[in-house]
Amino acid sequence: MGIWLSQVARGQGPCPFCNQNSRNLRQCQARETDGTVFRILTRAEGFMDADIPLQLVFHLPVNYPSCLPGIVVNSEHLTRAECEIVKEKLLEQAETLLSEPMVHELVLWIQQNLRHILKRPEAGGGSEKCTSAASTTVDDGLWMTLLHLDHMRAKTKYVRTVEKWASDLRLTGRLMFMGKIILILLQGDRNNIKEYLILQKTCKVDVDSSGKKCKEKMISVLFETKVQTEHKRFLAFEVKEYSSLDELQKEFETAGLKKLFSEFVLRLVK
């Protein structure tokens, strides 16, 4: 159950995550298990010196700032594509601030740089306004990606973390174990898959040989594709273990991925 940090929301106290007085903060909701959600209303100078109101939503995972926050950008004055580009630029900036409180710095950064972002060619095009948290993608349709992990030392915790990320990002698919082979098949919004990959590569999800927490450095993307009519739509994210290669192959064939299994998975057992 959420609690409201009213003093911070009214700008009467320092933010516990950035140690700064944040006058722009309007709503801040903390959750004991899911992390914290900040909704920040601010303004930034846009194209032609126009003053553009922005709503920035930051989801801070429980292990923040060791991994990146989730970010949603909304504005009635920007197109959906422009909102998405602003979000991507904020995430790029956040990568330079890992392990440091960053919400306040990111708000200041977008206030100072929005006009430069909107003047870039990739920010143009499209007239549909970005007015809701669900409108955060440029790519239409369902996407799918297959990831290969080299190993899991802290398997129970690792699996629990992967399940939580998939749930938070509304991704479905499979976490598959067959002998020493570990695969993660994800379906969902393409940008949510990208956010998953950022979490997977930047958060300390496993332990090294000495038992110290570490980031995932041995992950590879085997393929990424838009879901086609012949592909199965997964309704949930499940963890499954297979006793043989034939059993794993049957899973892929049932999902309409026989060719991809032959091209990318079989080579892992050779």
- Report pLDDT digits (tens) over 149-183: 888 877 888 888 889 889 988 999 999 999 889 99
The label of the residue with tokens 């143009």 reads: 124
Whether the per-residue pLDDT at 203 is higher than 90: the answer is: no
Percent of the chain clearing pLDDT 90 (strictly above): 17
Instruction: At 87, give phi and psi (nearest 5°).
Output: -60, -45
Domain ranges of the chain: 36-118, 142-267
Give exposure, 148-173, as e/b (b: 16+ Cβ within 10 Å): bbeebebeeebbebbebbbebbebbb
The radius of gyration of the chain's CA atoms, rounded to the nearest angstrom, is: 20
Please name the CATH architecture into which domain 142-267 falls. 2-Layer Sandwich (3.30)
Whether the per-residue pLDDT at 17 is higher than 60: the answer is: no
**Contact call for residues 124 and 204 (beta carbons, < 8 A):** no
Whether the per-residue pLDDT at 229 is higher than 80: the answer is: yes
Name the pairing type of β-strands 51-60 and 181-188. unpaired
> Where residue 48 falls among pLDDT bands split at 50, 70, 90?
low
- Residue 173 has a pLDDT of 93
Nearest to 82 by CA among 32, 43, 126, 45: 126
Q: Identify the CATH assignment for 36-118 out of 3.10.110.10, 3.40.50.150, 3.30.420.40, 3.90.1150.10.
A: 3.10.110.10
Report, in this order, helix, strand and coil percent for the chain, each rounded to 5.
35, 30, 35
Whether the per-residue pLDDT at 14 is higher than 50: the answer is: no
Q: Is the peptide bond before 65 cis (omega within 30 degrees of 0)?
A: yes
Task: Give pLDDT tens digits for 72-96.
Answer: 998 888 888 888 889 988 998 888 8
Give the three-state DSSP class for 221.
strand
> Where residue 37 falls among pLDDT bands split at 50, 70, 90?
confident
- Residue 238 has a pLDDT of 93
Percent of the chain clearing pLDDT 70 (strictly above): 76
Task: Give pLDDT tens digits for 114-141.
Answer: 888 876 544 444 444 454 433 333 344 7
Give the three-state DSSP class for 167.
helix
The C-alpha angle with vertex 196 and arms to 191 and 197, in degrees rounded to 5, equals 95
- Residue 6 has a pLDDT of 29
Nearest to 46 by CA among 88, 13, 12, 76: 76
